[in-house]
Structure 1
Amino acid sequence: MKTEILSAEHPAAIQHALDVLHNGGLVAFPTDTVYGLAAPADDVRSIERLYTVKGRRNTKAIAILLGDSADLEKVAMPASPLVQRLAEKFWPGPLTLILPRRPTLPEILSPLPTIGVRVPDHPIALALLKAAGPLAVTSANLSGGENTLTAEQVYAQLRDRIHLILDGGTTPGSVPSTVVDCTGDAPEVLRAGPILLADVLAALE
């Protein structure tokens, strides 16, 4: 296949991305951290393609991005007060919360009974997610490769492996989101990122 690069400012960009996703294609798009690579969260075949394209082992989970925190109940079990407070404070934003997942989600998304979820703070990402619904999203790079901050960097790594790149310029962030496990009694940072543990703890005081 030949990868298409389309300006995210094109009036038909979001609709075209939806069409690609609905037809089983993979779409890269900018977020508030790095470029993401997406498939519908309920499409097992497309999610399998995500793993293949990245060269990623399917023992590593893939997160779900939402267009609105109100959609959280579609993918995760009812939120605890801790989760509600963190979501209210940091969403939209670069914080991924590890939560007990809905049993209806495809098992391929995670080898554990949990799922990473976040709402990104980027207009293009939010427009796509609000139109498409929950998407399984991983960083738009080869497994172990450099983070991609521009459409050109995505193309350099994933050229002709994916169907569409929405070019939204350079991402405002440069590192992936902070990941916080919320399945225990206290939050635990699993991956450092833009939001510090001190910020998380302060939000819970």
Structure 2
Amino acid sequence: MSRRYDCSDPMERTRGIAEAFSAVRRSELIVLPTDTVYGVGVDAFVAPAVEKLLEAKGRGREMPPPVLVGSVRAATALVEDLGTYGQDLIDEFWPGALTLVCRSNPNLVWDLGDTKGTVALRMPMHELAVELLKETGPLAVSSANLSGRPAARDAAEAEKMLGDAVSVYLDAGVSGNTEPSTIVDLTGSVPRLLRAGAVPADKIRSVVGVLLTDEDDDHDEDGAAPDAPAEPADAPSGAAAAKPSLTKGEPSKAPDGPAEPPSGSAQTADS
């Protein structure tokens, strides 16, 4: 039986976050608000829970979910490295509507689907979402909708589509943005725009200097080479301080915990 909590009421909010935390620990699905659209999430480190999420949406392993985090430290623990431009993009746009696709940390014990060794990460600019993520640690989160349907912009829309497949719905009113997050792939030597979204491409270019798109591929086929990447600015090193605590053979404990102050394959990062 699903439970929905009106998070505009302080007591309901507190109760809802506690119930959502408990549901995640039981490997159940929850629906939470973000700064873009509503998302349906599970513990990113419990493979059967991720399978439940994909089944509820009507997706297969070839469409793995992105991961939402409650801190930059949690994000850096999940990746092999941020590449040349990752820290600059995080400094400029996180928390916010930018999803970054990086090489995942090979020592982590998780299974998000057919990720090809990558993970799509985002820290949302939503107070309730971040508060929850600090409690639960990283969550595998996809847009709260059935595959092929528009993403839910409020909890009621999500409940109509997902019903009792979700244990807890956190209702924080209408989501803040009609567009999903912008997705940038950092796994190559030059950042690539995988999906246009809430953060305009020109703002990303102002940080990284060059941003490859599908149009550049078309130009390559015509014999024209894409622009060379600009020299990167010096990146602060603070985010690299925390390293992952999850290694093969150790318990699957998320690297983001309640004491930390304020995430797949890129093509499916849809929240």
When normalised by structure 1's length, the TM-score is 0.95
> CA offsets per residue over residues 113-171 of structure 1, 9 Å max, x none?
11100100001110110111111110110011111001110111111121111001110
Q: CA deviation at 1:105?
A: 4.2
Given the alignment of the two structures, is residue 142 of structure 1 paired with residue 146 of structure 2, yes or no?
A: yes
Q: Which residue of 2 aligns with 1:59?
A: 62
Given the alignment of the two structures, is residue 6 of structure 1 paired with residue 10 of structure 2, yes or no?
A: no
Paired residue secondary structure (2:198):
coil
Q: Is the 8 A contact 2:45 2:111 kept in 1?
A: no
Gaps of 5+ in 2: 210-271
Q: Which residue of 2 aligns with 1:81?
A: 84
What is the root-mean-square deviation in Å for CA atoms of aligned residues? Answer: 1.2
Paired residue secondary structure (2:130):
helix
Greater shift after overlay, 22-31 or 2-11?
2-11
- Equivalent position to 1:179, from 183, 187, 210: 183
Q: CA deviation at 1:108?
A: 3.2
Q: CA deviation at 1:73?
A: 2.3
CA distance in 2, matches of 1:159, 1:153: 10
Q: Is the 8 A contact 1:63 1:109 kept in 2?
A: no
Q: Which has the larger radius of gyration?
A: 2
Runs of 4+ in 1 over 4 A off after TM superposition: none
Q: Which residue of 2 aligns with 1:39?
A: 42
CA distance in 1, matches of 2:109, 2:66: 12
CA distance in 2, matches of 1:135, 1:71: 11
CA distance in 2, matches of 1:164, 1:58: 24
Given the alignment of the two structures, is residue 191 of structure 1 paired with residue 195 of structure 2, yes or no?
A: yes
- Equivalent position to 2:120, from 113, 116, 120: 116
Percent of aligned pairs with the same amino acid: 32
Answer 1 or 2: which has greater strand percent.
1
Paired residue secondary structure (1:108):
coil
What residue identity is the alignment partner of 2:175?
T
CA distance in 1, matches of 2:195, 2:21: 30
Q: Which residue of 1 aligns with 2:21?
A: 18
Paired residue secondary structure (1:141):
coil
Given the alignment of the two structures, is residue 92 of structure 1 paired with residue 95 of structure 2, yes or no?
A: yes
Gaps of 5+ in 1: none
CA distance in 1, matches of 2:77, 2:55: 26
- After superposition, residues 120-135 of structure 1 pair within 5 angstroms as 120-135=124-139
What residue identity is the alignment partner of 2:58?
G
CA distance in 1, matches of 2:114, 2:32: 22
Q: Is the 8 A contact 1:41 1:105 kept in 2?
A: no
